[in-house]
Structure 1
């Protein structure tokens, strides 16, 4: 990932602001859920995308009766 050179301070409640320019480029909008994970010794913040209830994939997913299912698992289910 290319560094953007933007530095932000943590406030007293542990919050930071993701600059508007970065949100726009990444397609992050007001009300979007964000996922915060620890990877090695780094904190990674990314847009939360629901994954398939069977395999966890977030590629080619559809919602069916409130459940997220990927295309591959949907095809596998159709064989039963």
Structure 2
């Protein structure tokens, strides 16, 4: 992890402001979801990308009934359908 050389204070509500230069570099816009990850003593912010609820894959993910599922798991589920009906 490379330090950005920017120091910000946390306000009373626990917020910090990401500098415009960082938002621009990482293509983060107002309203974009951000995921907060913790690794040891580090807090990591990254743009949110939905993951499959079954395998955590982030490629070719679609939303179904407010859940995310990848095309691989969806195919596997479709293959199971005829077996369950018999």
TM-score tier (shorter): 0.7 to 0.9
Larger Rg: 2
TM-score normalized by the length of structure 1: 0.76
Aligned length: 80
Aligned-residue RMSD, C-alpha: 1.9
1:41 maps to 41
Deviations 1:45-79 (Å, cap 9, x if unpaired)? 22222211222222221224543211221222232
| 2:68 maps to 1:68 | yes
Matches within 5 A, 1:1-80: 1-80=1-80
Deviations 1:7-57 (Å, cap 9, x if unpaired)? 212223221111122112222211122222321111112222221122222
TM-score normalized by the length of structure 2: 0.72
CA distance in 2, matches of 1:24, 1:61: 26
Q: Which has the higher helix share?
A: 2
